[in-house]
Chains A and B, each alone.
Chain A
Amino acid sequence: MNSGKSNVRPFRIIGKPRVRVDALSKVTGQTLFADDIKLPRMLHCKLLRSTVPHAAIEKIDVARASNHPGVHLVLTGKDFPIEYGILPVSQDERPLCRDKVRFVGDPVAAVIARDEQTASAALALIEITYQSLPTIASVDEALLPTEAPLQDYAEEHNIHRRLSYSFGDVDEALEEADHVFEDTFFYEGNTHMAMEQHASVASADPDGRVTLWSSTQCPHYVHRALAKALEMPAAHIRVIACPNGGGFGGKTDPFNHEIVVSKASLLLGRPVKICLTREEVFFCHRGRHQVTMKFRTGVNNDGKLTGMHLQTLLDGGAYGSYGIASTFYTAALQPTTYHLPRYSFDACRVFTNKPPCGPKRGHGTPQPRFGQEVQLDKIAEKLQMDPAQLRLGMVAEPDSLTCNYLKIGTIGLKQCIDSVVKKSDWKNKYHNLPSGKGVGIACGAYMSGAGTAIYWNKMPHSGVQIKLDRSGAVTVYCGATDVGQGSDDVLVSLVTEVLGIETIDIKCVTGDTDLTPVDLGSYSSRVTLMMGNAAIQAAERARDLIANAVADKLEITADHIGFADRLVFDVEDPTRHMSFQEAVVCAEEKHGTLVTAGSYAPPKSAGKYPGGGVGPSPTYSYTAAVAEVEVDEKTGVVEVSRIYIAHDIGRSLNPVQVEGQVIGGVYMGIGEALMEETTSRRLSPRLSNALLHDNPSMLDYKTLTMHDMPEVLVDIIEDPDPNGPFGAKEVGQGPLLPIMPAVANAIFDAVGVRIDEVPITPAKVLKALEMKAAGREGRVGPRAFPAIDWPQAMFVLPPAEGGDGKASNKPERKRAAKMHAMDKVEEQTTDTVKPS
């Protein structure tokens, strides 16, 4: 992609440890997060949230609240007639509920007052009459027939969506396998718990335009949602994403509070701010879906996979959010890690009366990754193979198409496995540590950006503009949003590298829909790759303009012009040079005002079947990890003593930040493995029967503290990918994926019990140990996968069997495909001698 002039080595700053560009403002407390903004005449907003889990709103009386001293405005659902939602197919949210509430915490009214205390006092004066509706508390209840589904667009009962795909004839692949493994797993939901509580400030101007500052990862999607929900031209709305105090996916949806304060500011002509309480952040949620999974996997005696059938069932909570994408992601990325000739999946998301689930770090993939990697451990045990060796033997091929048409570019997974095996002394530790201690290995793969936007369009996914002028100042503009991952640093460092200046010479303006070209947002690990490629293109165009002008002055051709150390020079004779600032003057003299732009759109997906847009990415990152654990057999407490992890990043742009992302992913993975869970409980009928969030506080929602965090040994594997900026791939999400299964597998190595669900709490470990001691199978996990009426699978012939990427359920085509497939299998059988 950017294999041209910029891709020369050695780099001046790329790949070198460097202080990130926003570090000093953050260590001095000068970075302004959304709640740090204070505007003249600013008012404050508080939301009234439902106290019942499912009910029709019969009556709302706001008269007393409206008359309360200091209250300027009270809004209810009738002020917001338009529905919105992140996905075009799930426009099911309202800024304030109008007819129905669907979970405890659903907002029903807003008070805007002179301060938060006054607004809170007025909330208590709003009188609401609810008519209770049946509450759906679990996936099992959601699958039952109902007269009154939670959402009227549910497919059937409370089923949001069912998906069924078959890439080749999987039944046949399983029939012909030497072994078929059938395992069920359970992954409890959990949440992002970013340190910053969501906050927004809206300010309308007298001309009827409005500006919203917000802690959002996706200002572009907020911009679209505001335009729709406020019934205003998007051109009159400005969204500014403040630096996010952490996101992890929790700030990727457009939120009701963002729309409410925008509307309030337009109605009042004054700035309006809201900052959610921590409890409200738990209600906003959009966190990890709870998923029940069943894997049926065919394996030959040599440890090669023949096919896999995966079923997933997701508890989606009360609204759509990114849920359909999440549902696809519980299945779509499985074939990117290991060679899998045939694959089929059935995935189902249901609605329940809980806070809505959505994307959290790894979006839909940590759950099936956990299942697959634990199942591989069981397969290795059964085949008496080393689990690391088993994985090494099945790593997907570079530059290949998976059976579901995902294009794999570079793949450094073998190096990752080799690295963690060596550094952890795996061969001496596995099966050899004293009882109570164990090691476990697992791998993962993740996208470097989703190949398609949330809404269908043919425009760039990321745009970058660069402005230069005679002062020598360079300003770079991009819609990307820094959520802590360091995207501003990536943007500045890439432009710095190309122009041969220093990072302090560049000002970056990001995440502002008035000023910056669109970038879709900080999700799907897309920013480094997509923004990065756009930035390099814009910078190369600026460099070409300068080189062209300087070449005239130096009377040489432009391809002899070099850029380094704030100088522009003749590469044959660097003494013939001028300062960068003088060079910009030359360029402005010759070309006029200097502005360049770059843009990036991912390659077209190879899969032409409906739904084939979920899963493709310009390239995938790979990770392997070994967990070392100690299990206290008396208490069931699991302590992770060390994590060895290797991540294939293509190219590391700033090793300090890369390592930080890896360790941060490990941290969150250990939390998910051992303690993080979002659960709910139903009060007794005497106490309203409400379905309550069990742990909406940082005390009750358990996370690792500095005491609990083990040492992490990080190895970065670099094999530049041609689709990445200077070869870089993602690092924000992938390193989390192998941690949960590596821990579970290590527990089995330590004490011989299988905990086939997360979080792995001491109670579960003790229960499994007791079962084992009683002579039964030492296992905790789901026994069965619920019966679901699946639609007919969409059949797509894999590329290796002659498929063209299109779906066809025509019987003749499927028969032909099967015959073709049988030929292939025969070929393979003659090629490969199976060990007896």
Chain B
Amino acid sequence: MSLPEKTPLLLNVNGEDMEVLVAAGKTLLEVLREDLDLTGTKHGCELGECGACTVLRDGQPVLSCLLLANECEGTLIETVEGLADKDRLHPLQLAFAEHGGLQCGYCTPGVLMTAKALLDGNSRPHRSQIREALSGNLCRCTGYQQIIESVEHAAAAINAPAKAGS
């Protein structure tokens, strides 16, 4: 019985170097979920239509279902599992939890990563810029309004001077 040929691949995911044996043609999405057990990244179509699988590559949002894992060697990959800083949640995570930015939670990891790239580049986005940045992330539950509000709350928290004791 012949097994598919695999090649070793070195990936940096959420700041950690990881070595995996990958069959040719495997997408980054498949490697993250199946080989590295990082199942926080979701899939809704595996055709680049829905945005659920969005992760960051060198800080830019990419659709991990359309990207071959081999193309990611030497880059920095960020997924939802790396969004929190140890036990300190990212302001986006807190804002989404508090302001109804999620319901079923399935599109949430992709939305959060896209929003992180937005806020990393522009911590005071206008509503139109939030809509522009997130228009490739489909959500069937929320009607988007509370997602937009959550991003705005997160931006406000990022820009607020650090409170004593927090």
Contact = CB atoms under 8 A, between A and B. Distances in A.
Nearest to A38: B37
A699 interface: yes
Interface in B19-45: 23, 33-34, 37-45
Given A33-B106, A196-B106, A656-B99, A706 B137 contact: yes
B40 A29 contact: yes
A121 to B, nearest CB: 10
A706 B147 contact: yes
Contacts of A36: 33, 39
A483 to B, nearest CB: 6
A559 B4 CA distance: 71
B98 A706 contact: no
Given A194-B140, A660-B103, A697-B47, 9 more contacts: A24-B97, A27-B93, A36-B33, A69-B2, A195-B107, A656-B146, A698-B45, A698-B49, A706-B148
Nearest to A670: B143
Contacts of B137: 706
B109 interface: yes
Contacts of A711: 145
Interface in A696-719: 697-699, 703-707, 709, 711-712
A789 B77 CA distance: 64
Contacts of B72: none
A664 B138 CA distance: 13
B89 A193 contact: no
Contacts of B49: 278, 697-699
Given A23-B102, A28-B40, A698-B49, A667 B108 contact: no
A31 B42 CA distance: 11
Contacts of B145: 663, 709, 711-712
20 contacts: A24-B93, A26-B97, A26-B102, A26-B105, A29-B41, A29-B81, A36-B33, A117-B4, A195-B42, A247-B104, A277-B46, A278-B44, A484-B103, A657-B103, A659-B100, A664-B140, A668-B143, A704-B144, A706-B147, A707-B131
B1 interface: yes
Given A19-B98, A24-B89, A27-B112, A243 B104 contact: yes
Contacts of A27: 80, 83, 89, 92-93, 96-97, 101-102, 105, 108, 112
Contacts of A247: 104
Nearest to B52: A195
Interface residues of B, number: 61
A246 B106 contact: yes
Contacts of A33: 42, 106
Interface string A663-693: 1111110000000000000000000000000
A657 B146 CA distance: 10
A22 B34 CA distance: 24
Given A28-B40, A36-B39, A246 B141 contact: yes
Interface in A468-511: 483-486
B135 A705 contact: yes
A194 B104 contact: yes
Given A660-B141, A660-B146, A664-B143, A706 B40 contact: no
Contact of A703 (B41, B97, B132, B140): B140
A667 B143 contact: yes
B139 interface: yes
From B2, B43, B81, B106, residue with most partner A Cβ within 10 Å: B106
A70 B146 CA distance: 47
Determine chain A's interface SS by DSSP, over half rule: loop
Interface footprint category on A: 35 or more
A120 interface: no
Nearest to A24: B97
Contacts of A192: 140
Interface in B33-86: 33-34, 37-47, 49-50, 52, 79-81, 83-84
Nearest to B146: A660
Contacts of A197: 43-44
B44 A196 contact: yes
A663 B146 contact: yes
B66 to A, nearest CB: 13
Contact of B44 (A244, A665, A698): A698
B94 to A, nearest CB: 8
Contacts of A245: 42, 104-107
